[in-house]
Structure 1
């Protein structure tokens, strides 16, 4: 069985290398497409937008401190099954079942042909 995928790059794997403005969990999307065997899959990870990542980190920190989540704050991963948030199923289910090393932030794109990082735009 084969799968088609788009690659993500860690800052240190780009020509520019890691910069001080890069966050530890930041990765860059790319348009580099590849076909690989499904046997290559090691584990599931979550790639979040900046806002999703900030909400995730806040919730994780509160969970570590034993605090309940703030009332009235919409956290898409914790909304009901009928939620209209289209990325709900792509978010970490809870902070306790997902290890932090499997959650990444993506806010820029690495153009591997031109060897430069560009701002992410839809």
Structure 2
């Protein structure tokens, strides 16, 4: 029979006052206990490529902070949240990388205006999400180009990269760090991402 569940669009840590909203990405600690009436969050996992079941020759082409989106849905205890993180698409990650490598480029408003004037106003590149703030630890920044089909153990090209009207940020996800269970049989001990 269906179970009634009260759902919330955000949660706030009692002591640290951190707020996690729906569609935010988070790093998770491993979950050791069964769900005993504690607050749960539903999420969709990102896989770190080296923890996928892809051939070794495919895995070697991914960057260290690259993750693979999946459609693997799960429910975990909110006490497992370790920190907030960000999963960017390839274009967003390129902008982030340039900002980190050439920080004074974006400190001068005239430089930003010059860059914007070079862009065609009708392109999807004008409309974008804000990048993570400079205070976010680089280890909490990931990017995603592909979707991993965990059942077929293969990569699908990320459909949102072909469709500028689709924002990959609106998909549910969460991120994992240290040792975290990705599915019922795989445990990881490296940062991996997913969105709540």
TM-score for the superposition, normalised by structure 1: 0.77
Moved over 4 A (4+): none
Q: Residue 97 of structure 2 aligns to a residue in which SS?
A: helix
Structure 1 position 87 matched with structure 2 position 125: no
Listed as ranges, the matches of 1:18-57 within 5 Å are 19-57=59-97
Q: 1:107 aligns with which of 145, 161, 166?
A: 145
Counterpart for residue 78 of structure 1: none
Q: Distance in 2 between matches of 1:38 and 1:25?
A: 24
Q: RMSD of aligned C-alpha atoms?
A: 1.9
| Number of residues of Structure 1 aligned to a counterpart in Structure 2 | 106
Listed as ranges, the matches of 1:70-85 within 5 Å are 70-72=111-113, 73=115, 85=127
Q: Distance in 2 between matches of 1:10 and 1:117?
A: 12
Residue 86 of structure 1: how far off its partner (Å): 6.3
